[in-house]
Structure formats: C-alpha cells, structure tokens
C-alpha cells in the first residue's frame, strides 16, 4: 500500500527517500511520481517489501497549481535555470490563454530536455538533461509519451516588479542544500537572475506577469514543457514558478 508525504522545496527525490528512511527506519523507499527540486507537494511512496508495487502508483491522475510567469524564459523552463532572454509579452496575453486552452486537446507531449530519462543519440545513451547541457538536444530528438489534460483553470494576469520577483527567486534557490549547488549550477543561475535585475532599465522590462494555473493531468505530465512549447511554437518567453502538487 502506498503512503503519502509532503515533498519540500529544494529537496531532491533521493533526499526525500533518505528523509523517509530516517523518520521511519525503512530499508528501501521508492518514490511514486517524482517532483523537480523546485517543486513541492503531496508525493506517494512505497517502502521495504512494498517497493515491488511501485508501478501500480506511477500513473495516477494528478492535480497541480503553479504560476506561468511571462517576460522571461530559462533553459530549464523554471526558476532553476539560466536566463535565456527577456521580452515584454503584455500584448500576447490572449495568445497565451488560447495556447493554454489548446493543451486540453493534445494527446501527447515531449519529455522535457532537462529531465532524467535516458535517451540514445548517435549510439550514445545519456539522460536528456546531460544532452541538453551539451547543447545537442533539439525538439526533434526528444521522445514523446501519451498525456492528457482533464481540466484547467487560469487566473487573471497579475504584474509584479522584477526586482521583487528576483528577490523571491533568490530565496527559493537558497533552499537548495550547498552540496547540490554545483550539480544544479546554482551560483551561475543566481548570477544571471541578479544580472537581469541590474539590467532591467536597459532591457525595457521592469516587471513580470503571473498567471496562476490549476491543472488536473494524467500521470507523468511535464508541467515545465508548457513554457518550452510556448517559446518553440509562438516565440513567447515564459517560465514556471512554484509547482505545487495538491492531489496525487
């Protein structure tokens, strides 16, 4: 039987498993439905002799709340990525809403370039995020999987001062334990965000636009692929902030 625990911001899947072992004395823990380090929320797990049942709980329907933040995109499509570019997307709000509603009709999606799935390119097998860091992971190379969006609600756009938003990002990134900073490029990421704050007057963008979204989706749905597609298909810059899984 699977049980539930709340995964914290900044915690990796392996760190969550270690926390469970320390709390309950488990020998083995399998996390059913992983979350990115910057994500938080309810997570199912099985322990010890029940780990063999893990596959029974991987594909449950899940509900997430998160923010789609316009005007900035990053290479990971969330705040834990290197800033790629900035553009005032105020005039594209209607197009963004149309794109989001269109996701209800899609039946498959690509795995995100910064995901852990292994994939063979040119006879060499590496995780997608390794290929992405090497700059050889185009959309055409990404594997796909069947997915479904069951329902969605989109909040009204809310503007936030860029400096205020970057201060929040720095606080969130500080949740990553120091031992993981090199693996996740935290120093470089913080540097690029802070550099953006100092350049806000010259790049003519001094705020971000946040859309709060609630989605119920099939198991394995990649929330971060939403801004990835938004840029690939419509050249609109955005990223995800605060993925919160509330039903699993």
pLDDT for the residue numbered 122? 86
The candidate with the shortest Cα–Cα distance to 217, out of 82, 76, 72, 66, is 66
- What backbone torsions phi and psi does residue 156 show, to the nearest 5 degrees? -75, 145
Q: How far apart are CA 122 and CA 115, in angstroms?
A: 19
| Strand partners of residue 240 | 68, 78
**Does the pLDDT at position 219 exceed 90?**
yes
Answer for the pair 72, 239: CB distance below 8 angstroms, yes or no: yes
What pLDDT digit, counting tens, does each position of 82-104 carry? 999 999 999 999 999 999 999 99
**Percent of the chain's residues with pLDDT above 90:** 88
Summarised one tens digit per residue, pLDDT across range 102-160 is 999 999 999 999 998 999 988 899 999 999 999 888 899 999 999 999 999 999 999 99
């Amino acid at each position: 039987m699977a049980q539930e625990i709340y995964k914290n911001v900044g915690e990796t899947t392996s760190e969550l498993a270690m926390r469970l072992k320390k709390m309950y004395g488990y020998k083995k823990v399998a996390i059913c439905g992983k979350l990115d380090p910057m994500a938080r929320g309810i997570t199912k797990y099985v322990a010890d002799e029940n780990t063999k049942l893990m596959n029974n709980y991987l594909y449950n329907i899940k509900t997430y709340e998160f923010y789609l933040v316009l005007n900035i995109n990053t290479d990971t499509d969330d705040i834990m990525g290197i800033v790629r570019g900035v553009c005032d997307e105020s005039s594209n709000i209607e197009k963004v809403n149309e794109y989001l509603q269109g996701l209800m009709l899609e039946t498959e999606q690509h795995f995100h370039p910064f995901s852990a799935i292994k994939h063979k390119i040119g006879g060499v097998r590496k995780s997608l995020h390794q290929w992405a860091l090497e700059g050889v992971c185009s959309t055409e190379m990404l594997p796909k999987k069947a997915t479904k969006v069951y329902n969605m609600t989109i909040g009204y756009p809310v503007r936030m001062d860029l400096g205020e938003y970057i201060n929040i990002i720095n606080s969130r990134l500080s949740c990553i334990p120091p031992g993981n900073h090199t693996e996740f490029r935290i120093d470089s990421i913080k540097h690029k965000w802070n550099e953006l704050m100092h350049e806000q007057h010259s790049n003519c963008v001094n705020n971000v636009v946040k859309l709060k979204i609630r989605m119920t989706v099939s198991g394995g749905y990649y929330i971060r692929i939403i801004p990835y597609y938004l840029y690939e298909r419509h050249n609109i810059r955005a990223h995800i902030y605060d993925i919160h899984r509330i039903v699993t």
